[in-house]
Amino acid sequence: MKRLLALLFLVCASCTGPRAGFVDRITVEGILSVRGAEPFTGVFLETDERNSYVLRLDAASRRGLDMPGRRRITGILSVDTWNGVRLAHLDVERIEIVPYP
């Protein structure tokens, strides 16, 4: 009986934890904008469905962006805080220019 309970505990504990090695890579399209006030600004992408993502970019990539502008962004999705609020973040891997519809 103790072995069964121990096995059940291990199975339940592994189900509730994060998935090891799992990367949630997504591609989203929307309008780029800068939000916040210096020095606490962030680059955001807002989709047509009104979903917002904080973009994590290196300094060179950030300087090269024309804003506002329509872009398709591919990156790794995570949840983090920005100015004390939990928001979706994208670690940007690729940026594509998309024409306005």
Q: Tell me: cis bond preceding 18? Omega within 30 of 0 counts.
A: no
In a domain, 30, yes or no: yes
Residue 2 has pLDDT above 70, yes or no: no
The pLDDT score that the predictor gives to residue 75 is 96
- Give the CATH number for residue 82: 2.40.50.140
Q: Which amino acid is present at 10?
A: L
In a domain, 73, yes or no: yes
Q: How confident is the model at residue 63 (pLDDT cuts 50, 70, 90)?
A: confident
In a domain, 13, yes or no: no
Beta strands in the chain (DSSP E): 25-35, 42-47, 52-56, 69-82, 85-97
In a domain, 9, yes or no: no
Domain that holds residue 32: 24-97
* pTM, full prediction: 0.74
Domain total in the chain: 1
- Report the percent of the chain where pLDDT is more than 90: 55
Residue 90 has pLDDT above 70, yes or no: yes
